[in-house]
Amino acid sequence: MLEYWIALARGPLLRLALLAMALGLLRLVLIQLWEISWAFHRAGDQVVPWGVAIRRNLEWLLPWRYLQRRERRVYNFISFIFHVGVIAVPVCLAGHVSIWRQELGLSWWTLPEALADWLSILTIAAALGLLIGRASHVSSRRLSRLHDWLLPILCVIPFITGLWVAHPSYSPFPVQGVYLVHLLSAEFLLVLVPFSKLRHMVLFWVSQTSTELGWRFPSGSGERVRLSLGKESEGV
């Protein structure tokens, strides 16, 4: 019975999850591009500081600048580790690459087994660190919503179960069940990507670009504000 569920989770469900993530993210990017161009079209000032926008994006994408920031150094560092683990392990683990090869026909560089294990452990620890960091800092605790707490926990489940699958002898539960949980939790996470803040994996550039582009009111918006407030008689 469990066998059947594993087969289901490895086959159709995995495909569904990957498709959901890829197409969902594609949709988000397209909408974003369209809305930016639309907003730009309506804007009064149409000069775009492309250079600044690209520089800002690079600054945030490449870690050294980010790590040099003064405030919350430890938190930033943990976050960096977390991101490295969360990207490297699922994509480059030898076991996963063999799945990609079977399903997609693509294969690439694989992480050495031992490194992958340690990276997974580090990631789990980093996720824990992120939660603690979020809880300990007053303003970030106040700003946090429910899913901000849940997402790191959800991200960690595939890592823990993945470790157990790789080392069944350390697993307190039967390997089959753990493997199923590993698959299902990872797939759930993949499906969740386009619908949660995990979408920043493709939309990270938007916030920086918007900062540079966004603060332009559309032409005639003053007029509209006046109408909405019911103060047609007053000047803009």
Partner 1 sequence: MTRRVQITKGILWFISGLAAAVTIVRFTRGLGATTVLSDTTPWGLWVGFDVMGGVALAAGGFVIGAIAHVFKRERYHHAVRPAILTALLGYAAVAVGLLYDLGLPWNIWHPIIFWNPHSPLFEVAWCVMLYLTVLFLEFLPVFLERTRFTKLYRTLLRLQLPLIILGISISTLHQSSLGTLLLIMPFRLHPLWYSPHLPELFFVSAICLGLSMVIFESSVTSWLYERKPNIRMLSGLSRFAAGAMAFYLGFRFIDLAHHHKLGLAFQNTFEARLFWVELATSAIIPLILFLIPKVRKSHTGVFIAASMGVVGFLLNRVDASGLAQVWATGADYFPAWTEFVVSFGIVSFFALIYLFIQEHFPVEKEILDEEAKWQQRQLFVLPRFDRLTRVWLGDQSFASRRVYSLLFVSALILGLTLTPWEPLVEASPVTRARGGKVLRVGYPIGTVEFPHAEHIKRIGEDQCGVCHHLHKPGDLGTPCTECHADLYLETQIFSHVRHIDRLGGNAACARCHTPEKPPAAASAAKCSSCHEKDMMAKNEVVTSFEHTAAPGLRAAAHKLCIRCHREKAKDPELKKPDLFRCATCHRSPVNHGDVILEASLKDQESETLKGEKDPVAIEETPVAPEEPPVTMDHTLATD
Between 81 and 192, name the residue whose CB sits nearer to partner 1: 192
Report the residue from 20, 53, 84, 131 that binds partner 1 according to the rule CB under 8 A: 20
CB 191 within 8 A of CB 21: yes
Q: Does 35 bind partner 1 (CB under 8 A)?
A: yes
Q: Does 24 bind partner 1 (CB under 8 A)?
A: yes
Q: From CA 220, how far away is CA 230, in angstroms rounded?
A: 16
Q: Does 19 bind partner 1 (CB under 8 A)?
A: yes
Window 71 to 110, contacts with partner 1 (CB under 8 A): 94-95, 98-99, 102
Report the residue from 55, 65, 167, 231 that binds partner 1 according to the rule CB under 8 A: 167
Beta bridge partners of 43: 218
Between 30 and 74, name the residue whose CB sits nearer to partner 1: 30
Report the residue from 7, 33, 48, 143 that binds partner 1 according to the rule CB under 8 A: 7
Q: Shortest distance, CB of residue 205 to partner 1, whole angstroms?
A: 17
CB 59 within 8 A of CB 65: yes
Report the residue from 141, 197, 200, 231 that binds partner 1 according to the rule CB under 8 A: 197
Report the residue from 165, 190, 193, 206 that binds partner 1 according to the rule CB under 8 A: 165
Q: Does 33 bind partner 1 (CB under 8 A)?
A: no
Q: From CA 32, how far away is CA 194, in angstroms rounded?
A: 13
Q: Does 61 bind partner 1 (CB under 8 A)?
A: no
At residue 177's C-alpha, the angle toward residues 175 and 183, to 5°, is: 100
- Characterize 139-166 residue by residue with b for buried, 16 or more Cβ atoms within 10 angstroms of its Cβ, and e for exposed: eeeeeeeeebeebbebbbbbbbbbbbbb
Residues 6+ apart with CB under 8 A from 117: 163, 166, 167
Cα-flanking dihedrals φ and ψ of residue 43, to 5°?
A: -65, 150
Binding site for partner 1 (CB under 8 A): 3, 6-7, 10, 12, 15-16, 19-20, 23-24, 26-27, 30-31, 35, 94-95, 98-99, 102, 113, 145, 165-169, 175-176, 179, 195-197, 224, 227-228
